[in-house]
Structure 1
């Protein structure tokens, strides 16, 4: 069938993460109707993960197009750009303190960013409790969205913003994420300025990183007097074994960690012994490089669905930049097919170039040298 004009198309975004919501916001701001479908039962069904740094040369560009940049700066934490680097023995070897007017990559909690984007949308834009099973229908449309509850929706464009294990991706690509060989264990600390003062002083107002070449720790100050720490190791994906891949045997996993970090300074080892609640196991996966697909006039991808990479500070920023580029393409093209082609002409080379730069670099997080960028807080 002929490709419709974007103004008259039924546009469906799968996934109400930062990328999907940014795309929806910019589309609505430009007068284009859109519906977002998300598997969560509501906006606060689950924890949204840690903190993000949104960069001036990508994530902030998208927020400017969304008309939300001033609101972002009002909610963000510029002091979160502070970065400390330690040796495994606990010696401070590097300390970046941001200037008072430094705004290149201020931090914002994922939940706060999501609420900012959700509140900017027209009521009813997001349809909660819709878990996509598959995309059906012919390549030239219309497409059918098949949800796990047995319902279907007909649409003219499917935008996969549904992350690493996208249900939209198989409509254009057979690629699946592969384990990088590096895993994170996430640990939480609450009420840190009273209950975990030593850890709060070690981390400061931003982030702290320590590594010995085989294992690492990365701790980030979040809003609300919280710190999240990521214990990073080169291990098999199922290294916790009988102790449970989701970290259900907290004491057993802690014993393993204390053995692996036995030679680390006592102050750093408190990141292992003092956390509130269980660990969260997060093996790091990435899509093959390069990841591209043949143009499809009715389906496209953005963010991790399109280019899942190691968490080295680019994931959410690229997703939001993708979202802005796609929304602007839809606003300026004569047909949906033309918009998708124009968007992918920009997005695919950019994502391939970045993915090649980061390929195999999950292990950089274990490096004693490292840099001051730190990892993305997982929880995509």
Structure 2
């Protein structure tokens, strides 16, 4: 059976994150039908995470192809491009203040970006509550069968895995699984910054602030609505909380441990550990093997973290959206689905391998003393 034309193909995208939704939006703009399947019960069932900086050479390019760049600029926080590097005492080592009109990498909350993309899609594009269980092998070059955890199925001529670090679609082309990098984040939340946390607000500024001592670090990132997220970064075993007889909800006990670990830091910077509103969230940093490649397999494509999970150094969402744009445009411009996926993989795989090699060990870099000339640093909430 020959590969169908993209205009007649049944295309299913697994995952309603920025990558999957960007791909769906660009396909629909060009008259190609697509269905997005997501495991969440609805669009508002969980918090979508922190702030993202969308770069002008990848994430913004994808939004331009999606016809959404102007709407993004209306939502974006341009002052969020401010970046401060601090020492453990809270002294300013370097300070980037964005120029007037600078649009290199403005910030937007992940939830706001997702809502922007969702609003742009045709009604019914996203099917909620559809958690993928498996993707079948093709029979005689025919379609792939998607089986969901609720027992339902769907046939597709192309399944696009935009389902993140633990992608079920990836299993159809690669045995690779994410590995722990040796560095873990604890995410701390702060609300009503100007009134409830004025000293911390002054320390962090309007964008992000990073401090490290070579063994541990803190990264603070403004979100919209007066919120702040702080990522407490340590080189620890993946199960360090349980290994110390603690539970994730044991906020005071975890805080006591952190204060011991950060004992040499000043009370000014320790506000990022002591003053949070609510419990910490454990986020061990995982990455796929470098390089992660696979043999082309008809009827399957991967994008974003499903294809190239890397440490969160500001590239994850941007690469996912660039992948999504390039895959969608390949489908628009190719005679068959298989031709499109081959053309996309020819560009995406070497690019992602090169970037992954550049960022390998980047989780350790986040704990190093800040280098004002190194622009790699900056968790992107991915």
> TM-score surpassing 0.5?
yes
Query: 226-235 or 366-375, which moves further after superposition?
Result: 366-375
Could you say which residue in structure 2 is the equivalent of 1:319?
A: 320
Could you say which residue in structure 2 is the equivalent of 1:59?
A: 59
Aligned-partner Cα distance in 1 for 2:94–2:142: 55
Counting only pairs closer than 5 Å after superposition, residues 64-75 of structure 1 correspond to structure 2 as 64-75=64-75
Q: 1:130 to 1:278 in 2, by over 3 A?
A: same
Could you say which residue in structure 2 is the equivalent of 1:13?
A: 13
Secondary structure of the corresponding residue to residue 99 of structure 2: coil
Could you say which residue in structure 2 is the equivalent of 1:357?
A: 358
Query: Contact (CA 8 Å) 1:243, 1:249: kept in 2 or not?
Result: no
Counting only pairs closer than 5 Å after superposition, residues 212-361 of structure 1 correspond to structure 2 as 212-241=213-242, 247-361=248-362
Are positions 1:39 and 2:39 aligned together?
yes
Are positions 1:116 and 2:116 aligned together?
yes
Shift of 1:372: 4.6
Shift of 1:163: 0.2
Query: Contact (CA 8 Å) 1:246, 1:281: kept in 2 or not?
Result: no
User: Which of 367, 375, 378 is equivalent to 1:375?
Assistant: 378
Could you say which residue in structure 1 is the equivalent of 2:23?
A: 23
Q: 1:146 to 1:245 in 2, by over 3 A?
A: farther
Could you say which residue in structure 2 is the equivalent of 1:129?
A: 129
Listed one character per residue, the Cα deviations across residues 238-293 of structure 1 (whole Å, up to 9, x for unaligned) are 11125678721111111110000111010111111110110000000000011111
Shift of 1:369: 2.8
Shift of 1:362: 1.0
Shift of 1:206: 0.3
CA-based RMSD of the aligned residues comes to: 1.2
Listed one character per residue, the Cα deviations across residues 5-49 of structure 1 (whole Å, up to 9, x for unaligned) are 000000000000000000000000011000000000111110100
Is there any run of 5+ residues in structure 1 with no aligned partner, and where? Answer: none
Return the TM-score normalized by structure 1.
0.98
Could you say which residue in structure 2 is the equivalent of 1:3?
A: 3
Secondary structure of the corresponding residue to residue 48 of structure 1: coil
Shift of 1:141: 2.7
Listed one character per residue, the Cα deviations across residues 30-76 of structure 1 (whole Å, up to 9, x for unaligned) are 11000000000111110100000000010000000000000011100
Counting only pairs closer than 5 Å after superposition, residues 75-224 of structure 1 correspond to structure 2 as 75-138=75-138, 140-224=141-225
Q: 1:245 to 1:115 in 2, by over 3 A?
A: farther
Secondary structure of the corresponding residue to residue 124 of structure 2: coil
Secondary structure of the corresponding residue to residue 347 of structure 2: helix
Secondary structure of the corresponding residue to residue 300 of structure 1: strand
Aligned-partner Cα distance in 2 for 1:94–1:315: 25
Query: Contact (CA 8 Å) 2:89, 2:268: kept in 1 or not?
Result: no
How many residue pairs align between the two structures? 379
Q: 1:194 to 1:373 in 2, by over 3 A?
A: farther
Q: 1:200 to 1:244 in 2, by over 3 A?
A: farther
Shift of 1:120: 0.3
